[in-house]
Amino acid sequence: MLQGGNPYTLAKEIHGIGFATADQIAQSVGIPKDSQNRARAGIDHVLLGATSEGHCALPLEKLKAAAVKLLELPVETIERAVSQMLTGGLLLLEEIDREPLIFLPHLRKAEDGIARKIKRLATAGVAYPKIDIERAVTWCEKKTRKTLAPSQREALKTALTSRAVIITGGPGVGKTTLVNSILLILRAKKVKCLLCAPTGRAAKRLTETTGMTAKTIHRLLEVDPATGRFSRNEDKPLDCDLLVVDETSMVDVLLMYALLRALPATSGLIMVGDVDQLPSVGPGNALRDLIDSGVVPVVRLTEVFRQAASSKIITSAHLIRQGKMPELRRAESGTDFYFIERDTPEEIAATLVRLVQDRIPKGHRLDPIRDIQVLCPMNRGSIGVRELNTVLQGALNPVRPGEPAVERFGWRFQVRDKVIQTENDYKKEVFNGDIGAIEKIDPVEQELSIRFDDRLVTYDFGELDEVSLAYAVTIHKSQGSEFPAVVMPVAMQHYMLLQRNLIYTGITRAKQLLVVVGQKKALGLAVRNDQSRKRYSGLLGSLKESCL
DNA sequence: ACTAGCCT
């Protein structure tokens, strides 16, 4: 039930579902665009802002009640607005589980479009020339000097004999090796392959692992930055016989629709991703729905090659994936997963700093700045990214008077500071999410140099808005990266974000060592909470309808 | 009282 008009309770209950853009709502209920009403509602954005999280559906009665409370307008006004929007095509009504729900038409259209295209692909024949699988595998193994595991061979066979296929699995299960093998074989058969990913970093990584050019989905579809529209579509499709999409779990319904529209009718499609990681921040749960529908063949890789099967990080990740609490008691030495119980935020923060600064470097011979990454559920709060960056900077790289420093946006940058690039810069060849360290500051030239892996990149002081401190980053941002050691605070102040996928994503970033610090209650809550599964997506329904 | 990504 709706409680006390608290927008956040409300938003949680309906899971961030809205029913139109804030502007549309404001307009339809007669509130001027920039009025104080909207500012007061703030809510606007969470509840009425439509697509900020996940979903596109909301029961009609709840919608009306919410609107009355939040906008403090008479019921009649809301009734009128809703009916106007219904007749005006801004709202559509449908039923899911016998509950009348409202859909945003543009999302509904996208869901239908995706379903139609996917079904068409699923019933079409194979896109590639006839391939002798056994011979191809042998040839491929010789060429890469890598032996494929039986599960990978089976997967390869499925991929080469299906028009569309989904390849899913956690870190280290050999998704990359499999994709490389597929590409190697198909390219030898002169199949024209295009590669893409939703983020610049993922595209760069895909380029590196395959030796082929991979682009962001936006660049592949030739986005017009002014309008946000794509020039590639059904009228001007991509030129390919196979499209490979990596990190598909991050692709929301609208982007998926845009991508599939641009896929030529004759092309194959391979979607790669980890469904257990965080769902897209944008609407829907596209990859999960595609998998659950059973319309497209799914290759599930589970065998872990990268780390020893005895790794407690890996076994815990599997347990959490299934909603089970991992073993938290103090384990034998030599383990790679520790849980340190602390109750108050102050204790959590203090313990965390001690771990990063002292205990982990001493016990595991790791560099506190280079090797250890703090991952937080949230940006705000006393144990959020912002606060911890301040504290960790003070502990790991304190102010050295007399040394050059730059101040920007309230942050002070000094040599040795750990930083993260926050937008794609194709000129510098650094991408959103790249982490490095400041190596040189030149106050005369007004320049500073940041080392990313083995590359030194120079920034004008004016370009520092592309960069923030990275002692701590959000788990969302860490998706797609791995670190030797991960320290992760978990507390009730992260309530909003405590969900299974978040914890799973955080802990699977750790390669050698994982330390979770915080409240057992919060961790338990997160592990049990798989609400992200429950986004009221219409895509699954569309996919399951039998007609074309 | 929340979490992303894309482009010139």
Gap between the Cα atoms of A314 and A308, Å rounded = 8
| Of A55-64, A90-99, A101-110, A505-514, highest mean pLDDT | A505-514
Task: Count the Cβ atoms, other than its own, within 10 Å of residue A163.
Answer: 19
Q: Which residues neighbour A27 within 8 Å (Cβ) at sequence distance 6 or greater?
A: A33
The pLDDT of residue A467: 94
Gap between the Cα atoms of A110 and A289, Å rounded = 13
User: Closest by alpha carbon to A455, among A476, A482, A478, A425?
Assistant: A425
Give the least confident one: A23-27, A207-211, A232-236, A401-405. Answer: A23-27
Residue–nucleotide distance: A45 CA to B8 C1' (Å): 28
**Interface residues, strand B, Cβ cutoff 7 Å:** A 6, 8, 11, 16, 46, 52-53, 198-201, 216, 218-219, 223, 225, 228, 250, 252, 280-282, 377-380, 384-385, 422-424, 426, 431-433, 474, 476-477, 493, 495-497
Q: Find where tokens 């595998």 sit.
A: A137
With beta carbons less than 8 A apart as the criterion, state whether A400 and A409 touch: no
Arithmetic mean of pLDDT, A369-395: 96
Residue A224 clears pLDDT 80, i.e. is over it: yes
The pLDDT of residue A283: 77
Residue–nucleotide distance: A465 CA to B4 C1' (Å): 18
Q: Which helix (H) or strand (E) element contains residue A240?
A: none
Residue A452 in tokens: 């990313």
Q: What is the pLDDT of residues A288-305, one digit of tens each?
A: 999 999 999 999 998 776
Secondary structure of A152-205 in HEC code, one letter for each residue: HHHHHHHHHCCCEEEEECCCCCCHHHHHHHHHHHHHHCCCCEEEEECCHHHHHH
Q: Which residue minimizes Cα–C1' distance to B4? A: A281
* Chain B nucleotides near the protein (CB, 7 A): 1-8
Residue–nucleotide distance: A441 CA to B2 C1' (Å): 35
Q: Which residue minimizes Cα–C1' distance to B6? A: A218
Residue A534 clears pLDDT 80, i.e. is over it: no
